[in-house]
Structure 1
Amino acid sequence: MTRLLVVVPSDTDPPARLGEWLADAGLELDERHLDAGDEVPADLSGHDGLLVLGGPQSSLDEGATELAPVRDLLAQAAADDVPTLAICLGAQLLAQAAGGSTRVRPAGPEVGATLVARRDAAETDPVFAGVPLSPDVVAWHHDEVERLPDGAVLLAANPVCDVQAYRLGTAVYGLQFHIETTPEIAASWAAHDPVGVAASGLDVEEISDRAAAAHPDLAEVWAPFAGRFADVVHARART
């Protein structure tokens, strides 16, 4: 089996539907849950790809020592061009690990169902090329990528966040937004993030309902995206 290492920094953001889509595409998922004390391997020699999810931790929190080995893995993945999908917190850690930087969002948190705009470079990207020009996503972040690493290719943005998706090398992807969520996960985030919800201008019920309504469109776009990423991982496994 083609093996994908899945790092879950917080069980508030599990692989959920994304994990199902990747498994359906033939990947064996080796999940490591930091909340449960699972160890993160020192390198990726036993895996063909890497998925790093999000969590409530801040990429800027030096006290979040559990994130240090995750950054190390992401640095190795970027250096060796190992197929990688890093989501939200994962995308911020990837940027840091590869020489970029992150910051607290000056405009406040971006949370809830929203749209992102595909950039021109995405048209020829093997994973992003099938994504429509303005797909639905779920945003939920208080920090953001301030500066992309040298050589990074911007793949998506929107009016409130300049870096929504990017690629390093040929196969290392960072997504600031979420594609893995279920309506229940988004509702739980809303219930436990009063600062983020307040920044949205909506109440908990409204933001949860809007996120739930977006999930069918999310699956239509991002399940095939996950399949194309799995194809990249399978291709590496064959080399």
Structure 2
Amino acid sequence: MGDVLIVQNSRSGGPSRVGDWLAEAGLELDVVLAHEGAPLPARLEHDAMIMLGGGYLPGEDDKAPWLRDARRLAGQALREGVPFFGICLGGQLLAEVAGGEVTGDVGAPENGSLPVTIRPEAAGDPLFHGLPQVVPAVEHHKDAITRLPEGAVHLAETARCPFQAFRVGERAWGVQFHPEVLPARIRGWRADGFDPDEVYARAVADEPVSTPIWHEVTTRFAALITERASSKGRSGARGHGSAAGVAAARPSS
């Protein structure tokens, strides 16, 4: 068993099927409705963190003041090797925290289910290895990562937006697309220049292909979380009753 901090940044932007898949894997979900003013923890004591999407740039603290705390927790996850998965805004936030660059309203916007190319570098990645060369994923963004952090592993791309997926270190991933989104949610999106019926129909047609792929990626991430939780439990058991054991079971500051 392990627990996952999930930061929600908009009313409609919940964890959806990714949350369901994590729960099916036996994980406990702590969904913080940050957009409603729910506070983020002072420290990341969870076994993993997921940062969802939202209509902000990762540094727009004036519009979304909780982003400051989200960046702090993401930085802690990077330093301490806590599994992290950032979706859309969450992926951009990871890139920025790790030293990359995010630019607002850049390039051509992407909306709906689009083909994402998995790069050769993904062959050795814990989450993205063995995926088909091209996979469909739901997009909804006009802001984008324009420079990856130094040392990041570039995992996936599209023609319009090159940085679709990447890994920082061993346990932190960012994606520009939305593996959690089902076609029904697309109906509620407004995107200038796109035919909503066409976008919806394409997502419905792609779902039988995309669903098992993103389920597999989520299941692999869940396994990393469970592994971390088990490791923490073993450390705590070995040091039960001692100050050394308590220190080993908790992340260092």
Aligned to 1:61: 60
Aligned to 1:194: 191
Distance in structure 2 (CA, Å) of the matches to 1:216 and 1:36 = 34
Aligned to 1:49: 48
Aligned to 1:25: 25
Aligned to 1:222: 214
CA contact (8 A) 1:13 1:185 kept: no
Larger radius of gyration: 2
The number of residues matched between the two structures is 230
Aligned to 1:233: 225
The runs of 4+ residues in structure 1 deviating greater than 3 Å are: none
Secondary structure, counterpart of 2:75 in structure 1 = helix
Q: Cα deviation per residue 1:77-102 (whole Å; 9 max; x = unaligned)?
A: 11222111100000001111111110
Aligned to 2:246: none
CA contact (8 A) 2:107 2:142 kept: no
**Displacement of 1:147 after TM fit?**
1.2
Aligned residue runs from structure 1 range 31-180, under 5 A: 31-45=31-45, 47-63=46-62, 64-180=64-180
Secondary structure, counterpart of 1:135 in structure 2 = strand
RMSD (Å) for aligned C-alpha atoms: 1.4
Aligned to 1:184: 184
- By relative contact order (CA 8 Å, sep 6+), the higher-ranking structure is 1
TM-score between both structures, scaled by the size of structure 1? 0.91
Structure 1 unpaired stretches of 5+: none
Distance in structure 2 (CA, Å) of the matches to 1:49 and 1:150 = 23
Alignment of 1:8 with 2:8, yes or no, is: yes
CA contact (8 A) 1:7 1:33 kept: yes
CA contact (8 A) 2:108 2:160 kept: no
Identity of aligned residues (%): 39
Aligned to 2:245: none
CA contact (8 A) 1:165 1:175 kept: yes
TM-score between both structures, scaled by the size of structure 2? 0.87
The counterpart of 2:201, out of the listed 206, 209, 221, is 209
Distance in structure 2 (CA, Å) of the matches to 1:224 and 1:40 = 29
Distance in structure 2 (CA, Å) of the matches to 1:43 and 1:110 = 35
Q: Cα deviation per residue 1:2-58 (whole Å; 9 max; x = unaligned)?
A: 10111111122110011111111111111101122211112212x100111101223
Structure 2 unpaired stretches of 5+: 232-253
Secondary structure, counterpart of 1:177 in structure 2 = coil
Larger mean CA deviation between 73-82 and 170-179 belongs to 73-82
Secondary structure, counterpart of 2:155 in structure 1 = strand
CA contact (8 A) 2:152 2:166 kept: yes
Distance in structure 2 (CA, Å) of the matches to 1:128 and 1:230 = 13
Distance in structure 1 (CA, Å) of the matches to 2:110 and 2:59 = 17
Distance in structure 2 (CA, Å) of the matches to 1:215 and 1:55 = 22
Distance in structure 2 (CA, Å) of the matches to 1:130 and 1:4 = 25
